[in-house]
Amino acid sequence: MGALLTFEVRRLVRSPRFFIFTVAFPLAMFLAFSSAYGRNDPDAVTFLMVSMAAFGAVAASVSTGSRTAIERQVGWNRQLRLTPLTGVNYLASKVAAAMLVALPSMLLVYAAGVLVEHVNLGAGTWAQLIVLCWLGVLPTAVLGLLIGLLATGDSAQAMSTVLMLALSMLGGLWLPLSNLPAVMTIVAKALPSYWLAEFGHDALAGNAVSVQGVITMAVWIVVAGALVALRYRRDSARV
C-alpha cells in the first residue's frame, strides 16, 4: 500500500496540467477575491482565505479520485488485482493520495494569506485550522473515488467538474450564504464542502467543532464509502 501511495502521488505531481489546476487556480481566485472584496477588511480577507483553501482542497481531492476512471479503462486495476494488494488497501491508498494532493493546495492559499495579505493568526489557531480543514477533505476524497469507479474515461472529467462546482457553489465556498436565499443555507449544511470551510471558520472564531458538522461528514463518508466498496466488488467480479 505504501509503495502504491508513493507511486500515485509522484504520478500526480508529474502531471503539470493537473497540478497547476488544483494548486494554482484556488490561489489565483483567493488573490483576486481578496483584492476586490477584502481591502481594508482583515476579517473578510481571512474568511476568504479559509473558503478558497477549502475550495482548493475540494477540487484537488475530487479530481484525484476521478482519475481512477482512466486507470480502469486502460486495465491498470486488473493488473493490480494480480498483486498481493488487497481491495481495502487499494481503495485506502486512493483516498490517502487524494488527501495528500489536497494539502499543498490548502497550504499555498494559507501562505498567500500570510505573505500577500498579511493575515496574522496565533500558532494554535493555524494548527487547528490546518488539521481540521485537512481532515475535512476525507468525504470529498471518497466522493472523488466514487466518481472514478462509476464514470468512464471519457466522462470522468465532466462528472468530477460538475461535482466540484456543485460542492463549491452550493456549499457557500464562492459566495457568502447570507447573500443567497434562505433555502440555500439548508442545502449547504447538508454538504461536506460547507462543513470543510466551516471547521476553518470555527477555528478562526475560537469555537468548538460543530457536532452537526461532524455527523454530516461521517454520514457522507459512510454512505459514499459503502458505494465505493460495492462498485469495486462489481468491477472485481467482472474480471
How much is the pLDDT for 178? Answer: 77
Diameter over CA atoms, the chain: 60
User: How confident is the model over 55-109, as pLDDT tens digits?
Assistant: 999 988 888 877 788 777 777 667 766 666 677 877 888 888 888 888 888 999 9
CB atoms within 10 A of CB 141: 28
Handedness of CA 77, 229, 170, 28 (dihedral sign): negative
Give residue 18's identity as a one-letter amino acid code. F
Q: What percent of the chain has pLDDT over 90?
A: 39
Q: Is 101 helix (H, G, I), strand (E, B) or coil?
A: helix
How much is the pLDDT for 198? Answer: 94
Average pLDDT, the chain: 85
Contact 172, 197 (CB under 8 A): yes
User: How confident is the model over 23-55, as pLDDT tens digits?
Assistant: 788 888 898 888 877 667 888 889 899 999 999
Q: Is the pLDDT of residue 8 over 70?
A: no
Domain boundaries, the chain: 2-238
Gap between the Cα atoms of 164 and 140, Å rounded? 9
Arithmetic mean of pLDDT, 158-168: 91
Band of pLDDT at residue 179, cut at 50, 70 and 90: confident
Query: What pTM does this model have?
Result: 0.87
Residue scoring higher pLDDT (132 or 80): 132
Gap between the Cα atoms of 184 and 228, Å rounded? 28
